[in-house]
Structure 1
Amino acid sequence: MKTGIVKDKRYLEHRTGDFHPETHKRLKVIYEMLEEVDMAGKFVEVPVRRAERDELLMIHSGRYVDLVAATDGKPHCSLDPDTSTSPGSYEAALLAAGGLCQAISMVISGELDNAFALVRPPGHHAERDRAMGFCLFNNVAIGARYAKESHNLKRILIVDWDLHHGNGTQHSFEEDDSILYFSTHQYPFYPGSGAFEQAGKGKGEGFTVNVPLPAGYGDGEYLEIFEKILKPVALEFEPELILVSAGIDIYMDDPLGGMRVTPGGFAGLTRSVMDISNECCDGKFVITLEGGYNLQGLSDSVKEILKEMAGLATIDKGLILGRADQNRLDRLIKHVARVHGGSWKGLIASP
C-alpha cells in the first residue's frame, strides 16, 4: 500500500503554553516514532501547502478568517477559554487545512492509496465563525468541501471517533445530504452536543448519525459499533471518499477521557474503515489527527493505525469483537435504529 503522511515542523510552531494539553509535543513524539527502524522509509511524504482563502471560506466566514489571520506573528491571542494562538499558529492552521487537502487530492488521483494528516492545530470543534476546543480551522470540514468542489465528488463520509463530539463538523453539514457525518463520542461531555436525536435537518435529515457513549467503552464495544452501525449505513450511502477525524483521546489512559481503547483497538477501527472503503470507494480514505493527550499512547496508537493503513500489519477483528459487552451494545444499537431506521434500511435488521 502507498500510504501518505502529512508532516511538517511548522506544525510544532503552534505553541499553546507549558500546561496546555494540546502541546507541540504531541506531534514531536509521533514524528520521532516515524524515524524508528520499523517505520522509517515506509511512507510517502505529502507536499504540504497552505490552504487558500477560498478553501477556508467554504466552511468559515470571512470575518472569522480575518480574525485568525490578525493573530499572525503576535505573541499571544485568546480566541476562546481553551483556544489561544502564538506567533506561528495562523501559519500552522493554514498548513493543517492545506496539507489535508493536498493528501485528499493525492488519494483521489490514485497517487496514494490512503493518507494520514499528522497535523495540528486540530479542527473538528471549530465553528463557522469562532474557534473552540483547541481548534482554529475545521480541517476535516474544509477537506470534505474541497473534495466535493475541486474533485466533483458526490458523496463523502466523515467518521469521527474523537472522544469529544465534532460540533463544528456536524453544523457544517447537518443540512447536506451529500456529506454523511458519523460520530462516536463520550456523552454527556464537552462540548455538550451529539445526542442521538441530532440527526440532521431538512434534506440532511438522517445524514448525521450520532452515537453518544457513556465512559468505559473499550476496543470490542467500539469495533462492534463500527461493524453494526457504521458499516450498514456506509454501504447504503456508498461514499466516494471516507475522511476520518481520528481522536486518540479515547485511548485507555488519556488524561482528558474515560474510554478504554488500546493501540490494538485503534488498529481494529482502522481496519473496519479500510474494509468499508474497499467495498465503497476503491479503498480511498484519508485520516486527520484530532485529539489525544497521553504522549506515549498517542505515539503507540498512531503507529498501529499507520501499520494497518500501509499493510505492514493486519489485525484480527474477530478477536477484538469477542471482548465486547453485548448487553450494553444491544441497547445502544436499538436506540440508533429507532432514530435512523427510517433513513437506513440496514439498521432495522441490526438489533
Structure 2
Amino acid sequence: MTLLIDHPDTDAHANPPGHPEQVARLPAIRAALADMALTRETAPPAAPEAVLRCHPQDFLDGLAAAAPTEGFVQLDPDTWLSPGTLRAAWLGAGAAVRAVDAVLGGAAPNAFCAMRPPGHHAERTTPMGFCYLGNVAIAAKHALAAHDLARVAVVDFDVHHGNGTQDLLWDEARTLFVSTHQSPLWPGTGAADETGTQDNVMNRPLPPGSDGALIRQVWEAEIAPRLDAFAPELVIVSAGFDAHADDPLAQLQWDTDDFAWLTDRICDLAARHADGRVVSCLEGGYDLPALAASAAAHVDVLRRRGDG
C-alpha cells in the first residue's frame, strides 16, 4: 500500500500574509486524500549526516542563527523564516529519507511526502524560492550512500526549474536529473545546454501557454527514452502541481488528467527498471483547489499502481 508521510508541525512554518506558499496548502491536500486507502506515517526529522551530504555545516548553522523566535526574517524577496520554519524543513528532508528507506526496504511499494516547505530551489549554500533544504537531492544521495544503489533518477515536473536539485546533483554521475518546466520563468535556469559535469542533467523547457498535449509528446519522444537508457533503480519525483492552468504563478495549461497521465508514465518507468519503486515529494502548487485535485490524482495513481 502506498505510504503517505505527513507531520502536523509543517503547519507551524508560516509566511507573511498573502504569500503563495501558505499554511493552507497541506490542509487542502490532507482533505483530498482523507478517504484514500494509504499507509500513513508521521515524518521524522532528517539525521544530520543525510543533510550534510548536500549542505555544509556552516550553511546549516547560518540558517539556525537567522531563525526568529517570533515574527519573520526575510532571506530574499520570496523566502522567509518563521519560528516553525526550520523544524518543518528538517521534517521535510526526514520524510524524503524515510520514504526512501521504506520503499527500498520493501515496507511500501511507493510513497508520497505531503510536506512543506518545498525543497527543489535550495542550492548548496543558498535558500531561495520558498526552499531551505534540498529534499529530493538529500533523498537521492541517501539512497546511494545508505542503500548502495548505482542509479537514481530524479524527475521534476514542477513548473519552475529545480535549480537547487540541479546544483546539488550536478557532479553526481550515479543520478540523472530530468526537469520539465516553463521557460522563460523564474528562476531563469534550466536551459537545455545545462547538462551536468557527467551528462547527468536533462532539462526540457516548455513554452508559456503550452498544455498537456506537449508534455505527453515530450515525455514519449525525449524523456522516457533517456530515462530508459539510464535504467534507474529508484525514481524520486519532485511533484509540483503549479503547471496547472489555474495556478497563479505560471502560464502552463495542464489539467488534473495530465498529472495523472504523467504519474502513470513515471510508474511505467519504475516498473521496467526499479521494481516499481517511486518516492514522490511535494513541491509547488498554489491554487488550493487545483493543488488538492492534482495531488489526489497523483497519489491515486501511485496507490493503484502500488497495489498492483
Deviations 1:241-295 (A, max 9, x none): 0000011000011000101111111000000000000001100011101010000
Q: Output the CA distance in 2 between the equivalents of 1:8 and 1:134.
A: 18
The reply on whether 1:197 has 2:196 as its aligned counterpart is no
The reply on whether 1:266 has 2:259 as its aligned counterpart is yes
Q: Which has the greater radius of gyration? A: 1
- Which runs of 5 or more residues in structure 1 are unaligned? 315-351
User: Where in structure 2 are the equivalents of 1:4-43 lying within 5 Å?
Assistant: 4-36=3-35, 39=36, 42-43=37-38
The reply on whether 1:48 has 2:43 as its aligned counterpart is yes
Q: Output the CA distance in 2 between the equivalents of 1:33 and 1:189.
A: 29
Report the residue type matching 1:159 in the other structure.
V
Conserved? CA contact 2:263–2:301, under 8 Å = yes
The equivalent residue for 1:109 is 105
Question: Which of 280, 284, 287 is residue 273 of structure 2 equivalent to?
Answer: 280
Q: Output the CA distance in 2 between the equivalents of 1:273 and 1:312.
A: 11
User: Where in structure 2 are the equivalents of 1:1-351 lying within 5 Å?
Assistant: 2-36=1-35, 39=36, 42-70=37-65, 71=67, 73-201=69-197, 204=198, 206-311=199-304
What percent identity do the matched residue pairs reach? 37
State the TM-score, normalizing by the size of structure 2. 0.96
Q: Which moved more, 1:14-23 or 1:76-85?
A: 76-85
Conserved? CA contact 1:83–1:134, under 8 Å = yes
Report the residue type matching 2:173 in the other structure.
D
Conserved? CA contact 1:72–1:87, under 8 Å = yes
Report the residue type matching 2:34 in the other structure.
E
Conserved? CA contact 1:119–1:288, under 8 Å = yes
Deviations 1:311-341 (A, max 9, x none): 1899xxxxxxxxxxxxxxxxxxxxxxxxxxx
Report the residue type matching 2:246 in the other structure.
D
Report the residue type matching 2:244 in the other structure.
Y
Three-state SS of the structure 1 residue aligned to 2:304 is: coil
Three-state SS of the structure 1 residue aligned to 2:247 is: coil
Size of the aligned set, in residue pairs, is 306
Deviations 1:202-225 (A, max 9, x none): xx1x21101011112222211221
Deviations 1:37-66 (A, max 9, x none): xx2xx0001341101222111101211111
Conserved? CA contact 2:120–2:164, under 8 Å = yes
**1:243–1:313: structure 2 CA closer, same or farther, 3 Å change rule?**
closer
Q: Output the CA distance in 2 between the equivalents of 1:276 and 1:54.
A: 30
C-alpha RMSD over aligned residues:
1.5
Q: Output the CA distance in 2 between the equivalents of 1:17 and 1:25.
A: 13
The equivalent residue for 1:324 is none
Three-state SS of the structure 2 residue aligned to 1:46 is: strand
Shift >2 Å, 4+ stretches: 72-75
Conserved? CA contact 1:47–1:102, under 8 Å = no
Q: Output the CA distance in 2 between the equivalents of 1:175 and 1:63.
A: 21
Conserved? CA contact 2:276–2:306, under 8 Å = no
Three-state SS of the structure 2 residue aligned to 1:311 is: helix
Report the residue type matching 2:121 in the other structure.
H
Q: Output the CA distance in 2 between the equivalents of 1:171 and 1:161.
A: 17
Q: Which moved more, 1:216-225 or 1:184-193?
A: 216-225
